Amino acid sequence: MDAPVFSFQRQFFGRVQPGDIAPFVLVPGSKGRVRRFASYWDRAVQIAETHEFLIYTGELNGVPVSACSTGIGGTSVAVAVQELVALNAHTLIRVGVTGTLQETVAVGDLTIATAAIRCDRISDFYVPHEIPALASHEIVLALAAACQRRQYTFHIGVTATTGTFYCGEGRPGANNYTQSFMTTIVDDFARSGVLDWDTETATLFSLAGRFGVRAGRINAVLDSPRSKQMDPQAEERAVQAALDAVKILADWDQRKAVTKQACLLPEPGKDRP
C-alpha cells in the first residue's frame, strides 16, 4: 500500500498555501505573543487561525518574517515545524516563558538554549533517542548578540523538555497526584546545571535537525519555584531580543551569500540589527 502523500493542500488544515510563510518564523506558544510580534513589524497580515495555530506574515526592516503559535507541548510543535518547513521556512525561533532552576539565574533574566534534554517523548518518533536535540549555533549567537546590544541579562546553556507541564516538572497533578520521581526531578536537573525547562524545545530542535533547518529558543524567566518572585516584563525582553535576532541573522545570511562562506561568526561592533 502506498504511503500517504504529504500534500501542500493539507498545511494547517488547508488554510495556508505556498508563498504564505516567510523563511524566518517566530514560533511562540501563545497567540497573544504572535500578535505582539506582528505589532512591531512594518507590515503584518493574518494568514490563518485554526486550532492552536495563529499565523501572521509580514516584514521587519525589509526582512520577510512570519509568526506561528504552537500552543502547549511537543505534539503541536511537531505539526507546526513539519508544515512550516514544507512551506519553505528555514529559520525557526521559539520565544517562551519559564521558571528558573538555577540560583544564578534571576527572575527577569533570559535563557538561550544550546541543547535540550529529551524528556518530551515526541521527538523519539522522529529520531533515535541517542541523537541530541541541538540548537543552531548561529541562532544562539544571534540571540546573544541581541541581548548584549540591549543590555539584557542572559544565560546560555542546556534546557530540559518534559512531556507534561505538571507531573513532568515535579508539580502535583489533580487531587494532589504524585509519583516518586517527582520528589527529586527539580533538584536532579538543577544539580546537573540545567537552566530551565519547558514542554517544546527538544521537539523543535530534534525536528529542525532532522529536516535541515535552523532552530533556536529564548525563554523569559517569569518566576522562580523557590523564591516565588515574578517579573511579567521579562516576556517583552524576550520578544525584543528575538526580533533583533531575526534582523541579525538576515544580515549574516546576506554577508555569507556575498563571501560564499558557510559560516559567519559575529564581529564586535559590526553585528547590529
Q: Is residue 271 assigned to a domain?
A: no
Print burial letters for 70-103: b (CB count within 10 Å at least 16), e (below 16).
bbbbbbbbbbbbbbbbbbebbbbbbbbbbbbbbe
261 within a domain of the structure (yes/no): no
**DSSP annotation string for 146-159:** HHHHHT--EEEEEE
Task: Please write the tens of the pLDDT for every residue from 211-259.
Answer: 999 999 999 998 776 667 788 889 999 999 999 999 999 999 999 999 8
Q: What percent of the chain has pLDDT over 90?
A: 69
Q: How far is CA 201 from CA 124, 133, 226, in A?
A: 13, 8, 23
The reply to whether 6 falls in a domain is no
Instruction: For residue 180, name the pLDDT band (cuts at 50, 70, 90).
Output: low
Q: What is the pLDDT of residues 16-32, one digit of tens each?
A: 998 999 999 999 999 99
Q: What is the CATH number of the domain that holds 84?
A: 3.40.50.1580
Structural domain includes residue 190: yes
Three-state DSSP class for 46? strand
> Is the pLDDT at 12 greater than 70, yes or no?
yes
Measuring CA to CA, how many Å separate 95 from each of 44, 106, 176, 245? 19, 18, 30, 11
Domain encompassing residue 58: 11-256
Q: Which residue has the cell 529559520?
A: 91
Q: Is residue 204 part of a domain?
A: yes
Q: Say yes or no to pLDDT of 3 above 70.
A: no
Separation CA 42–CA 56 (nearest Å): 12
Report the number of distinct structural domains present in the chain. 1
Q: Judging by DSSP bridges, how do beta strands 24-26 and 43-50 pair with one another?
A: unpaired
Question: In this structure, is residue 186 part of a structural domain?
Answer: yes
Mean per-residue pLDDT, 161-181: 74
More confident residue, 136 or 165: 136
pLDDT of residue 232: 80
Residue 43: Cβ within 10 Å count: 11
For 95-152, write each residue's pLDDT tens digit: 999 988 888 999 999 999 999 999 999 999 999 999 999 999 999 999 999 999 999 9
Report the interhelical angle of 234-259 vs 137-150 (nearest 10°): 120
Is 4 a member of any domain? no
- SS3 assignment, position 246: helix
Q: Is residue 80 part of a domain?
A: yes
